[in-house]
Amino acid sequence: MQVGDDLKMNLNGLLTVGYAGNYGDQIQSNHSLEIGGNAELSGSFYDPNFINFNVVPYYNQSRANSSFQSLTDSSGVNANANFFTGSHFPGFANYNYTRNSTGVNGLIGNPNFTTVGSGQGFGVGWSVLLPEWPTFSVSYSQGNGNGTIYGTSEESHATTRTLNVRSSYQVAGWRLNAQYDHLYVSSNFPYFLSGQEGNNYGESTGNDIGINAIHNLPWHGSIALTFNHSTYSGDYNSSIQQSTGTTNYTTNTETANAMFHPTLKLGLFVNQSYTDNLNGYFYQSVLNGGGGIPLMQTNSQSNSSTVSGGASYNFTRNL
């Protein structure tokens, strides 16, 4: 469908209907009717490289399970738009909302628990891609959600905000990349495993600065060097333990990887890495992976250093 001279749109959709019935002498008969569907609206304004967009609402079709079956009758919408695609200044915007979405709440030392809840989020980004100049891109996103664990009435809440900055450049045969990431996480979840009533609340803020460089080497080889510096701090409050606390971690990580191919069949590699704070590395990994905020800070000091090397040889095409 075309509206006026500049707006062009396409719409298609899928409707699914299913019926299931069970009968027997020794079982109770039951019946179920399932109805679901999704639609996709895509289009452009003036020119696809100027503005193009895509909107996908769905009903009773959880994106977390499959496109044709939903365990929780999940519904929602995903929408995104791209601006000035193919130019030196491309940008994007997106939005998503989900209702009755399933997830997994994993706690260390305990089994995973299935949760159901709702959430929404949006993001925007822009890039500057000028010839012979370092590239630059920045994006911001935020989201929030809540959920309950099956079999309980306890509800958890979480809010996240992220800022990402990227830049790349080539000089003297080196391919250089730099990044900056800022993360804010706020969570409130029940202390249900203790059999008591109460909540744990926490906030955490993290900053991560990194740079990596890649350069070609003789023997059809290459070397990759990376360095990351991160600082993460958090505050927590437990109504069960009647305690509050803070966490502060500074972590530096360095890696070097080199590989060579003297012949088509022979490959050589050597890897090296060092982390000066494993506690901070663990804390950062949990937050970036979407987990809850760790509430305890250990006083131990630990670091890690690894060096490895190896070779491979293809005797035949399949061996």
Q: What is the pLDDT of residues 268-309, one digit of tens each?
A: 999 999 998 887 777 677 666 655 555 455 556 788 999 999
Positive or negative torsion for Cα 54, 184, 296, 285: positive
238-253 in b/e form (b: 16+ CB < 10 A) is beeeeeeeebebebeb
pLDDT band at 109 (very low <50, low <70, confident <90, very high): very low
- Write down the domain spans for the chain: 154-284+302-319
Pick the closest to residue 232 from 206, 203, 210 (CA basis): 206
The pLDDT score that the predictor gives to residue 26 is 84
CB 77 within 8 A of CB 44: no
pLDDT band at 211 (very low <50, low <70, confident <90, very high): very high
Interval 50-69: pLDDT, tens:
999 999 998 877 666 555 55
DSSP 47-82: STTTEEEEEEEEES--TTT-SS--SS--EEEEEEEE
* pTM, full prediction: 0.75
